[in-house]
Chains A and B, each alone.
Chain A
Amino acid sequence: MSRTITTSDKKPAARADIIDGHTLSMFVNNKPGVLMRICQIFARRAYNIDSLVVSQGRDPQFSRLTLGISGDPAGLPQIILQCDKLIDVIHCYEHTPDDSVVRELALVKIVVEGGEKRTELLQIVEHFGGKTVDLNESSMIIRIEGASDKVDAAIRLMNSYEIIETVRTGKVVMARGEQVT
């Protein structure tokens, strides 16, 4: 059967998981070049940025960054201080799932024609509180939102279908209670 949609996003090979992944939040000046300064610090020390979300703060003079990073945990405290030291960084904190709320959103495009398979898939979507945001004869786009592990789990289940692409926003984090993000 010929398909009109080409697969750009292969099923992931089993990869060393990012259990060691860390979530950092930064409050920075909203200026060109700030991200470059931050990224250089991670790259130089062989840290990978797994996810990155940038958005304007309530005061447009500032921006919010959430970074999901992986790399040698031993070097992390120094990196945080190094980021904090940047003139353009107002503050930089690490957050753990205990002290913060982490959310992300994924869009998953799946090849599925009508019938039983589709019904089954919709059950999974419903279970994870997802939504179908686009639907045609041969494919659908599903939106899943939640903590990263929930999004991971949903995608894992969908892996038994033919996923064409996934796009994830990356994590956004907010500290709980009195604590500052």
Chain B
Amino acid sequence: MATLNEEELDGAQALIKTLSDLGVEYVFGYSGGAALPMFDALETVESNIKFVLTRHEQGATHMADGYARATGKPGVVLVTSGPGAGNTITGIMTAQMDSVPMIILSGQQVTWMLGKDAFQEADIFGITIPIVKHNYLVRETNDLPKVAREAFHIATTGRPGPVLIDVPKNVSQSPFTGDLDAEIDLPGYKPEEAMDIDSSSLEAAARLINLAKKPVILAGHGAMIAGAEAELMELANRTESPVTSTLLGKGVFPESHPLSVGMLGMHGTAYANKAICECDLLINVGSRFDDRIIGQADKFCAQAKIIHFEIDNAEVGKMIVPDVAVVGDAKVALTQLLPMIEQADHADWLEHINGYKKKYPLGYKKQGGLRMQQVLDDIYELTDGEAIITTDVGQHQMWAAQFYLNDASFKWISSGGAGTMGFGFPAAIGAQFACPDETVIAVAGDGGFQMTLCEIATAVIHKLPIKILVLNNHYLGMVRQWQELFFDNRESGVDLEGNPDFVKLAEAYGCKGINIKRPADVKKKLQEALDYNEGPVLINAECVKTDNVFPMIPAGAALEDMLIEPPKHKMAKPVGST
């Protein structure tokens, strides 16, 4: 590798050098004309950055996302202009919806051609405005290091999110004559304010908490991002509250803990949703009250007081108007709150909730074919609940959330806000790069897996020992479930006739493949997959075709209208969200 004289850097080299200084380990991406200077700089600049060539730009974004969710560090993507940048949209939107730090570098046409429909020109700056935390179109070579530093700062502080940097080719190619250590300049961005919590809001929260007889804690992704696990545990113990978590909050409070009631919401546990319905105080730590967890908003916790710990001011009162809002970093806020919280005795309330746990346990039929739930239950057992699980979107995702309990943060990686099919497998690749010594399992449906399965090549080349668990029901199962329940079982656009032989397909890429057909074989075959660490292994589990996920709260219905088992009567079409 040629050593470079700092005085002779071009813009691209200055940029890559800055990324390296910022601690970037991996860049996921796909090359192309407008990005050539940046790709060349990856070769000419001495750094620890490893570039991972994906097979599609969407895969690159989800890999960066998986990397970020497993580490808390921003994932970095590098793509070319036009179609390359266009292919990142879904991945950027996914990261934005779930507050994931990500940096997307896109090549762009030369500045004097912008706006002239030049070859592979797309206004990716304009296109991505609604799906990023912030973005840049850099017009001055000397601005590149500063912009990169600002982008990292923005992506990783406050409520994290993706930041896109569009770099025209002449900007990256021109000589750099600026300051590599230029200071960031963001007068409109003050994330440090999140560390300064209004003490009167804390006092008001403490008063409500100390008065509550039937409190419930709702732990969200924000608590995890803030690293508030210990404070949350202390709060739960001191208030003797059942703790439920959102889909993205899974693991921030150990789900195997006696106080845990698991996930709430549309496919949450019956006991979590009942606890929410009956509580007299809901303490939300770091969740934005997504429509998937509140159902009919005006009936959500209608009788209870609500405290909302929230870092993003704009989320307060958006869905649910709290009695007390504590705006700021969840860890700082809880740390300052705890001294004001008295030890409670809520034995009766906990006993009551435990009654629900016994009455409405999560379960599944052991007969009538192989159930996705069993596969997930078995892999939970075989990995002692310690694997990193990434999921795709659909029935398998909800069952994975129900049956794979998480006891630690950053081990559950799932697209929540966006519900992006095709996310799970590439996210697992990113997570495995980030955590080479952990067992990483990608749980996918046969539908979503086929959206990004080309990344098997990426996993094979890097010998990543990912377990790709394809839970194959030959259907777009979750959509079929809605059609069965709400559209008189009229199937429309859900039959995945024409699925490939997934094992043969894996083998064609040089990936190990294992078929599971019989319930009795599951443990043995899963163990075989877990023991194989030379590269990825795809497990195709042929599952019952027409199973349904319960409990279920139809979209927009109130939590108390939860279906714990299949309905006996015809259901009206859901009115809420989607």
Q: Which residues of A contact B (CB under 8 A)?
A: 28-29, 32-33, 36-37, 40, 44, 61-62, 77-78, 81-82, 84-91
Contacts and interface: CB of A to CB of B under 8 A. Distances in A.
Contacts of A88: 134, 188
A90 B187 contact: yes
Given A78-B318, A84-B313, A85-B314, A40 B187 contact: no
Contacts of B318: 78
A77 to B, nearest CB: 7
Contacts of A77: 317
Interface in B132-163: 133-134, 137, 154
Contact of A33 (B125, B188, B317): B125
8 closest residue pairs by CB, A with B? A81-B314, A87-B134, A90-B188, A87-B189, A82-B314, A85-B314, A81-B313, A89-B188
B126 A86 contact: no
B112 to A, nearest CB: 15
A82 B134 CA distance: 13
B386 interface: no
Contacts of A87: 133-134, 154, 186, 188-189
Given A29-B187, A33-B125, A40-B130, A85 B317 contact: no
Contacts of A90: 187-188
Given A37-B129, A85-B312, A91-B188, 6 more contacts: A44-B130, A78-B317, A81-B313, A81-B314, A82-B314, A87-B186
B99 to A, nearest CB: 13
Contact of B188 (A44, A78, A86): A86
A40 B129 contact: yes
Interface residues of A: mostly helix, strand, loop or mixed? mixed
B347 to A, nearest CB: 40
A36 B189 CA distance: 18
Contact of A36 (B129, B186, B312, B314): B129
Nearest to B185: A61
Given A33-B125, A36-B129, A84 B314 contact: yes
Contacts of B189: 87
Nearest to A77: B317
A29 B129 contact: no
A40 B131 CA distance: 11
Contacts of B130: 40, 44
B314 A78 contact: yes
Contacts of A29: 187-188
Nearest to A33: B125
A78 B315 CA distance: 8
Contacts of B126: 33, 36
A13 B297 CA distance: 39
A85 B318 CA distance: 14
Contacts of B154: 87
Contacts of A89: 188
Chain A CB within 10 Å, residue with most, of B133, B188, B314: B188
A156 B282 CA distance: 54
A90 B187 CA distance: 6
Q: Which of A44, A87, A91 has the most CB of B within 10 A?
A: A87
Nearest to B134: A87
B312 A33 contact: no
Nearest to A36: B129
Interface string B167-189: 00000000000000000001111
B188 A28 contact: yes
13 contacts: A29-B187, A33-B129, A36-B129, A40-B130, A78-B314, A81-B316, A87-B133, A87-B134, A87-B154, A87-B188, A87-B189, A89-B188, A90-B188
B426 to A, nearest CB: 28
A86 B188 CA distance: 8
Nearest to A29: B188
A62 B125 CA distance: 21
Contacts of B312: 85
Contacts of A40: 129-130
Interface in B315-336: 316-318
Contacts of B187: 29, 61-62, 90
A62 B186 CA distance: 12
A85 B132 CA distance: 12
A166 to B, nearest CB: 32
Nearest to A32: B137
A114 B153 CA distance: 67
